[in-house]
Amino acid sequence: MLKSLVIVGLASIVGAGLSAAQSATGQPSRPGQVTQPAPVRDRANAVLRGVVIAADTGAPLRRARVTLNAAGLRESRAATTDLQGRWEFKDLPAGRFTVTASKPQYVTLQYGQRIPTEDGRPIDLAAGQVLERLELRLPRGSIVSGRILDDLGDPAESVIVQAYRLEYVNGRRQLGPAGVFAQTDDLGQYRLAGLPPGTYYVGTAPTTWVSSSPEDEGVSFGETYAPGTLRGGDAQPAVVRVGQERPGVDVQLQAVRLAAVSGMVVNGDGTPVANARISVMQQRQGASGSTATSSSSTAWTTGADGRFTISNLAPGDYSFMTYGSAPTLSVAAERGSAFVELSGQDVPGVVIAMSKGSRVTGQITFEGESQPPLTPAIRIYAVEPAGSRGFSLPGTSVIADDWSFEITGVSAGKRVFRVFGLPSTHTLKAVTVGGEDVIDSEVEFDGREEMAGVRLVVSSRVTTVTGQVADARGRPVEEYALVAFSSDPERWGPATRHVTTARPDQYGRFTVTGLPPGEYLVAALNYLERGESTSPEFLESIRSQATPVRLEEGDTRVVSLKMIVPER
């Protein structure tokens, strides 16, 4: 039985807090105090400055990488710290930004991030504001090391090793990749460095040693977890503190039966496609979405009859993808994919049907007092609902000056329409297809049909819930996590519009925008794991302690919350 993730107190060592903030008025702000910068005409001249330092010594970290992201920025911006660990971003528009700092041998952290699996705190920047001395403290990374042995007890060379941790994926707690990899040397040794403190489970990627020679029986090892199990639920945890090395986490690989997948690639009219190149990706679901790794560097190609056979595949979930004989993947090119689960048995008869994807045309209309500027950051996608498996494309959108749009290349599957890149002042209110509002409904695509007359309604009457949090004695709290969720459990679950989370900004205040009108419950907690709000069991556990809030279209509600203690 897997143990719960150990939350190690990064708060005391990270301290990714604001040493001092200065508005455009030149007046410093105290923690929890909101200062209003002087109004300016130029809305892209705000400045953000800070420093990155080592949490253990307080010394500045030179050549650390600092990245800046915001919903209104099409691309992230990056800076490298100088000899004093200082960094700066100029000519910024007003908005809410996330700042991330990284450096080899240290833990990568967002501003305000206290535990590895929570979100960081946003930086709320007003037009023309100069916010400086923003401090990010990076702790030294922890290390898990050991040896990988084969089934005979010999060192296993060139095996990919990965750290996993428990996280919420589509409302369920399961193992997910922690983003740190290593490869064994000739002695079978590995070293997973730069880990945040916490509880980890070491696993290996499937490994196959076979050749094309019929005399070579070869051997294959499945995805194996320490100390030597194919089941993630039986893995043994390794706990590391800040900067600590945990040696001796050895894994003995487990042999598995390989499988072969055979089938045919056909084009849109069912004609076999000769010389179609096929790539194979093994997939794993994590809190940040589906991750895929190439199963081999081998390139498979169909024969003259469009048929293929791909052998030596270890157990796992795979996507088989092709864009025919085209030199590169493009929106205009036909492509196809198939998802296959393997457990050691051959799978024949797989058909990869190619198509250019569906084409969607429609119009964006507006309600309310204003409409946002049309920027390159605004994109429309037909996305798969949470939990979907396999490889697919949400299409590529083009929005004209009159806000008519076209989405091309939508792969087959069930999808929902979403608009990304809208400013917080606007929200998607409705999606009508054939006169029916399907904003929360899945639309079936076969990857071929045309869909016209889609209407997206964007409204400036955005709901807002804002406020601050106090402890049991009424004292202001600046470090917390917030969750707002519908009072109707039928509206809970992954990818719902009726559940959202937030972290406080640099002043200790929270802001939640864009919830659809309705009855909600709002709760402030000490911490909230990424993805935890997708768990109906968790939301039910805090329901009785949460504060009710009713939202009408365009409402702004200011609420004062007390910290609650959920039953985890």
Q: Are residues 17 and 106 in the same domain?
A: yes
Q: Are residues 397 and 492 in the same domain?
A: no
Count of domains observed in the chain: 5
Is residue 3 in a domain? Answer: no
Residue 483: pLDDT over 70: yes
Strand-pair category, 109-110 with 219-221: unpaired
CB 312 within 8 A of CB 267: no
d(CA 76, CA 175): 29
DSSP state of 272: B
Q: For 416-475, what is each residue's pLDDT tens digit?
A: 999 998 988 999 999 999 999 999 999 998 888 899 999 999 999 999 999 999 998 899
Q: Are residues 247 and 151 in the same domain?
A: yes
Is residue 131 in a domain? Answer: yes
Mean pLDDT for 483-494 is 94
Residue 8: pLDDT over 90: no
What pTM, to 2 d.p., does this model score?
Answer: 0.79
Q: For 317-362, what is each residue's pLDDT tens digit?
A: 898 989 888 766 666 678 888 999 988 899 999 999 998 889 999 9
CB 358 within 8 A of CB 410: yes
What percent of the residues of the chain are helix, what percent strand, and what percent coil, each to the nearest 5? 5, 50, 45
Q: For 387-430, what is each residue's pLDDT tens digit?
A: 555 556 677 899 999 999 999 988 888 899 999 989 889 999 99
Is residue 501 in a domain? Answer: yes
Q: Are residues 16 and 131 in the same domain?
A: yes
pLDDT of residue 28: 35
Report CA dihedral (345, 322, 183, 203) to the nearest 10 degrees: -40
pLDDT of residue 67: 97
Q: Are residues 243 and 176 in the same domain?
A: yes
Is residue 1 in a domain? Answer: no
Tracing tokens 């979403």 back to the chain, one arrives at 418
Write the CATH number for 248. 2.60.40.10
DSSP state of 37: P
Q: Name beta bridge partners: 181.
A: 162
Q: Are residues 26 and 134 in the same domain?
A: yes
> 94: closest CA among 123, 132, 121?
123
pLDDT of residue 31: 34
Q: Which domain holds residue 414?
A: 358-459
Which of the listed residues 418, 439, 459 is the one where a domain comes to its end? 459
Which of the listed residues 337, 353, 369 is the one where a domain comes to its end? 353
Q: For 360-393, what is each residue's pLDDT tens digit?
A: 999 999 999 899 999 888 999 998 876 555 556 6
